[in-house]
A and B are shown apart, each in its own frame.
Chain A
Amino acid sequence: MSRTFVGMPVFPPPTHPAFPEAARDAVHNHTLRSNLRHATHTIRAKRARAVAELSDWDRLREAGRLIKDHTLRHLDRYLVQLEESVTAAGGTVHWAVDAAEANRIVAELVKATGESEVVKVKSMATQEIGLNEALLEEGIRAYETDLAELIVQLGNDRPSHILVPAIHRNRGEIRDIFRTEMGAWGRPAPDGLTDTPAELAEAARLHLREKFLRAKVGISGANFMVAETGTLVVVESEGNGRMCLTLPETLISVVGIEKTVPTWQDLEVFLQTLPRSSTAERMNPYTSMWTGTTDEDGPRAFHLVLLDNGRTDALADQVGRQALRCIRCSACLNVCPVYERAGGHAYGSVYPGPIGAILSPQLRGTASEIDASLPYASSLCGACYEVCPVAIDIPEVLVHLRERVVEGGVAVRQGNKVVLKPAKGHAAERAAMRAARWAFSHPGALRTGQRLASRTRRLHPRTLPGPGRAWSATRDLPAAPAEPFRDWWQRTRGGKDGAK
């Protein structure tokens, strides 16, 4: 059996370096590694405590899975119902097939208000479509208002974690960014700003407040959209979301179609599982819910832009579609041994970590080097599946996508069926893949192997019995101790390093 199997495919230097190269850079960045380690370990432990408080966690998780699966299965019906409800409540619904269309719609809506600046609350969907850049080309400045997003925006940087996007910056770096950059964007940082978190937060408060108070247009995403009532939900901590959702005269929300849930009652599941999985709190400080517009309270105009941008392609994939259940809690990032070592930027996408490894290649296809290498950015340890509040079997999807990269096959891209060619440089992996498929077609064999491994982590099994052997032979286990990434890399690539 090829020992290179779980290693990364080898590619020529691409525009965004493929995951292996990007990860190698990250691993050599000491600040990044120690910040990431501290952050992921802290959140991990807190999450476990928050989850343990609910004795019915497994049932909530199962309900979440069923609600999302049912919605996806009838997504056409629920989208139409959502549109009716939002419209009846005074909102306007727009449909965007791809990023370009969504950006165009938003830019036109902003222009129609006569404004040239907007305030934004952190939203993965608008990052995914590159909305800020698109608006800038139209002469519209978008201000990020989430503290971490502000740090990222002022630092001309990219987010590296779903929940704490500036996790790769330490306090000294943040102070320097504030000192040098704030002035160009608005109110400058106070004189003598130190690097204590409280002072930095205060500087951000003052800087952003003047923007909130004068903003006429707000842009958001949403965590949930309720088809039955037309209600949108935004879950946040800082209050910048409330500012953007209530002070402006016009609110534009750009939301992926998969964020739909059928009923109001469904929120009782996710409002329990999301905060505990993400910030590890019983409840996040602020949750806003709005249904269309309300007379004399909040924005007078509300626009909902429903975004496809590859989601229906993912929906067409029988194995991969489960990724659309994701509620973006980021729990899978915090437990992932690969993420912890590589950091978020290596994933070359707004969706980092295990979820990014299965979502980006589905939303964008596997044509580029980074997207083709993402399904390999995992040791298949299964920890992500264990913590996922909607039970997405990330290892299963990873293996499926690896097979897609290696063997090619039928897929849907931009709504059309296409036959993908096998990626080059994969002959050895292809052979391994065929064996792996055997494991998958024999119920439970592989999965048992994987789950077994993650449950008996303490025992550090080096190999698994039966068909699982092919996998475990080259697998790194999550609790595997202080092995430097370099060594891990060398080992899992089976000495193919010279081929880069």
Chain B
Amino acid sequence: MSSRERILGRVRRALADVPPDDTPYEQVVRRDYLREHGERTVEQTVELLAENLADYRAVVHRCTEAELPSLVARLLADRKAGSVLVPSGLEAGWLAQADVSRVADRTESTPDDLDRVDSVVTACAVAIAETGTIVLDGGPDQGRRRISLVPDHHICVVRVPQQVVASVPQALERLAPARPLTWISGPSATSDIELDRVEGVHGPRTLEVLLVN
């Protein structure tokens, strides 16, 4: 007997006392919890996002579409970034004013190659106000998962209000499970040493989120 058969057999025997029940799953779990917490206008939801992002030590900037290129350029210059990783489908205009060398997101790059790049600029798939979370789904303007992981500085652009939802349930509705998803809530952190929070262990130590109208 294979281990598969053995385990499945054990499961079935273990449940021998349970009377058969074919209630459809939708009826088993009453999803009577809230779809979002509290009532907010669109602008209030965006404000909550900004607040919660900042609460978890992301640096939040708000700007218009027209101001975006100069803001990105300034943030990179402030970091003295010499190079920036660019997902293949990133809007060309976003980096138009930045005076840095661009590194394409390529299959051939080794992790060491990525480690030599200072910053990365990506878009996102959705942002969650209640939790201060941005979610990346590997779309063309976000690139492979590793490019937003290895460089120490991540600039993430959120289009508001279109990409902002209030809650976790609303975010899951918008996301496609088949894509590789990375949920990011503030820069990486640890509280492993006497519960003192230290920002930045392995992921980017600086996360800047640009909310763009």
Known: A147-B192, A283-B185, A296-B144. A239 touches B203 (CB 8 A): yes
Q: CA A306 – CA B6 in complex, angstroms?
A: 12
Q: Which residues of B, 152-188, contact A by the 8 Å Cβ criterion?
A: 168-169, 172, 177-188
Is B7 touching A312 in the complex (CB atoms < 8 A)?
A: yes
> Least Cβ distance of A179 to chain B in Å?
15
- Can you report 22 A-B residue pairs in the complex whose CB atoms are below 8 A from each other? A53-B37, A54-B37, A56-B37, A66-B28, A95-B3, A97-B3, A101-B3, A197-B196, A205-B201, A212-B111, A231-B177, A242-B149, A245-B145, A265-B169, A282-B130, A285-B184, A286-B182, A294-B138, A297-B145, A298-B180, A312-B7, A312-B10
The closest CB in chain B to the CB of A282 belongs to B131
Is A291 touching B169 in the complex (CB atoms < 8 A)?
A: no
Q: Mark A261-296, 1 if CB is under 8 A from B, else 0.
A: 011111111011001000101111111111100101
Q: Which residues of A, 483-499, contact B by the 8 Å Cβ criterion?
A: none
Instruction: Among B14, B133, B169, B202, point to the contact of A268 (Cβ < 8 A).
Output: B169
Most A Cβ at <10 Å: residue of B30, B110, B201: B201
> Least Cβ distance of A161 to chain B in Å?
10
Is B195 touching A38 in the complex (CB atoms < 8 A)?
A: yes
Query: What are the residues of chain B within 8 A of A257 when measuring CB–CB?
Result: 7, 11
Is A67's CB within 8 Å of the partner chain B?
A: yes
Is A59's CB within 8 Å of the partner chain B?
A: yes
Q: CA A308 – CA B192 in complex, angstroms?
A: 30
Is A2's CB within 8 Å of the partner chain B?
A: no
Is B8 touching A412 in the complex (CB atoms < 8 A)?
A: no
Q: Mark A37-72, 1 if CB is under 8 A from B, else 0.
A: 011001100000000011110011001001100100
Is B188 touching A285 in the complex (CB atoms < 8 A)?
A: yes
Is A226 touching B202 in the complex (CB atoms < 8 A)?
A: no
Is A95 touching B185 in the complex (CB atoms < 8 A)?
A: no
The closest CB in chain A to the CB of B18 belongs to A73
> Least Cβ distance of A143 to chain B in Å?
13
Is A213 touching B115 in the complex (CB atoms < 8 A)?
A: yes
Q: Which residues of B, 8-38, contact A by the 8 Å Cβ criterion?
A: 8-15, 17-18, 21, 25, 28-34, 37
Q: What's the A-B contact tally at a CB cutoff of 8 Å?
A: 249
Q: CA A292 – CA B3 in complex, angstroms?
A: 22
Q: CA A40 – CA B185 in complex, angstroms?
A: 24
Query: What are the residues of chain B within 8 A of A390 when measuring CB–CB?
Result: none
Query: What are the residues of chain B within 8 A of A200 when measuring CB–CB?
Result: 193
Q: CA A66 – CA B28 in complex, angstroms?
A: 7
Q: For the side of the interface on A, what is the size category? A: 35 or more
Is A75's CB within 8 Å of the partner chain B?
A: yes
Is A189's CB within 8 Å of the partner chain B?
A: no
Q: For the side of the interface on B, what is the size category? A: 35 or more
Is B192 touching A164 in the complex (CB atoms < 8 A)?
A: yes
Is A229 touching B178 in the complex (CB atoms < 8 A)?
A: yes
Q: Which residues of A, 279-332, contact B by the 8 Å Cβ criterion?
A: 279, 281-291, 294, 296-298, 306, 308, 312-313, 315-316, 318, 321
> Least Cβ distance of A479 to chain B in Å?
22
Q: CA A310 – CA B17 in complex, angstroms?
A: 18
Nearest first, the 9 A-B pairs at minimum CB distance are A239-B203, A239-B202, A316-B14, A312-B10, A283-B131, A287-B183, A239-B188, A268-B169, A315-B14
Q: CA A166 – CA B196 in complex, angstroms?
A: 13
Query: What are the residues of chain B within 8 A of A315 when measuring CB–CB?
Result: 10-11, 14-15
Q: Which residues of B, 102-122, contact A by the 8 Å Cβ criterion?
A: 107, 110-112, 115
Q: CA A79 – CA B202 in complex, angstroms?
A: 34
Instruction: Among A145, A201, A243, A279, point to the contact of B200 (Cβ < 8 A).
Output: A201
Query: What are the residues of chain B within 8 A of A151 when measuring CB–CB?
Result: 192
> Least Cβ distance of B99 to chain A in Å?
28
Is B79's CB within 8 Å of the partner chain A?
A: no
Is B202 touching A238 in the complex (CB atoms < 8 A)?
A: yes
Is A76 touching B8 in the complex (CB atoms < 8 A)?
A: yes
> Least Cβ distance of A489 to chain B in Å?
27
The closest CB in chain B to the CB of A245 belongs to B145
Is A291 touching B178 in the complex (CB atoms < 8 A)?
A: yes
Query: What are the residues of chain A within 8 A of B192 when measuring CB–CB?
Result: 146-148, 151, 164-166
Q: Which residues of B, 47-85, contact A by the 8 Å Cβ criterion?
A: 52, 56
Is A294 touching B10 in the complex (CB atoms < 8 A)?
A: no
Most A Cβ at <10 Å: residue of B9, B11, B32, B107: B11
Is B41's CB within 8 Å of the partner chain A?
A: no
Is A246's CB within 8 Å of the partner chain B?
A: yes
> Least Cβ distance of A299 to chain B in Å?
10
Known: A63-B29, A63-B30, A201-B200. A171 touches B18 (CB 8 A): no
Query: What are the residues of chain B within 8 A of A170 when measuring CB–CB?
Result: 194
> Least Cβ distance of A60 to chain B in Å?
5
Q: Mark A182-205, 1 if CB is under 8 A from B, else 0.
A: 000000000000000110110011
Instruction: Among B17, B138, B149, B195, point to the contact of A318 (Cβ < 8 A).
Output: B17
Is A80 touching B144 in the complex (CB atoms < 8 A)?
A: no
